[in-house]
Amino acid sequence: MCRWPGPAYRPTSSPTLQLLPSDNLKVQHVDMRIPDNPLYPDTYRLRFIIEKDYPFAPPQVQFVRPHPIPIHPHIYSNGHICLNILYDGWSPAHSLQTVALSIQSMLAGNTDASRPEGDERYCATAPSNPLFSRFMFDDDSV
């Protein structure tokens, strides 16, 4: 049975988050559904890349294809997510499950079907690893 790796493992009670089986503990994928928001009718896939300093440093987290990338003011079209807990707000108390739940909650409460300002410019020059980006965390409205 595949479990949520990390220090705060608790079985999820949400059938809308599914950790996919993997033989590679460094790379994990989670399929996510947002049942209560008509903006997000699809299944979305998050990829977690876990480095050797996890849980003291955040994993790389982004939405990946072939699943669609959700449209949200804090999610770039390349799948990078502007969310404080993935960067400066990271704490070893977070787990892959709590990160997935935070992203799911961010999507569930959204009513603005738009990309972040400067999406095209960012995606054209962004590093492949979102941890090498520097985001400004100043918008709590979405």
- 53 occurs within a structural domain: yes
Please tell me whether residue 32 adopts helix, strand or coil conformation.
Answer: strand
Catalytic residue among 17, 46, 50, 82: 82
**pLDDT for res 15:** 77
Taking CB atoms within 8 Å and a gap of at least 24, the contacts of 9-16 are 9/95, 9/97, 10/97, 12/97, 12/101, 14/101, 14/104, 16/104
Structure-token pair, residue 131: 């941890």
Domain count within the chain: 1
Please tell me whether residue 121 adopts helix, strand or coil conformation.
Answer: helix
Please choose, from the candidates 52, 69, 48, the residue with its C-alpha nearest in 3D space to the C-alpha of residue 60: 48
**pLDDT for res 14:** 66
Tell which phi-psi region holds residue 118, choosing left (phi > 0), alpha (psi between -120 and 50) or beta.
left
- The average pLDDT across 30-47 equals 96
Per-residue confidence band for 136, with pLDDT thresholds at 50, 70 and 90: confident
What CATH number is given to the structural domain containing 100? 3.10.110.10
Q: Is the pLDDT of residue 2 over 80?
A: no
Q: Is the pLDDT of residue 10 over 80?
A: no
**pLDDT for res 139:** 60
Active site residue 82: yes
Give the lowest-confidence range in 12-26, 43-57, 74-88, 117-131.
12-26
- 110 occurs within a structural domain: yes
Amino acid at the residue 123: C
* pLDDT, mean over the chain: 89
- 1 occurs within a structural domain: no
Write phi, then psi, for 112 (nearest 5 degrees). Answer: -110, 105
- 12 occurs within a structural domain: no
Q: Is the pLDDT of residue 13 over 50?
A: no
pLDDT digits (tens, 9 = 90+) for 53-111: 999 999 999 999 999 999 999 999 999 999 999 999 999 999 999 999 999 999 999 99
Say what the pTM is: 0.87
- 62 occurs within a structural domain: yes
Question: Hey, CA dihedral for 77, 73, 45, 89, is it positive or negative?
Answer: positive
- 10 occurs within a structural domain: no
The range of the structural domain enclosing residue 82 comes to 17-128
User: Residue 48, exposed/middle/buried by CB under 10 A (0-12, 13-18, 19+)?
Assistant: buried
Contacts of 124 (CB under 8 A, 6+ apart): none
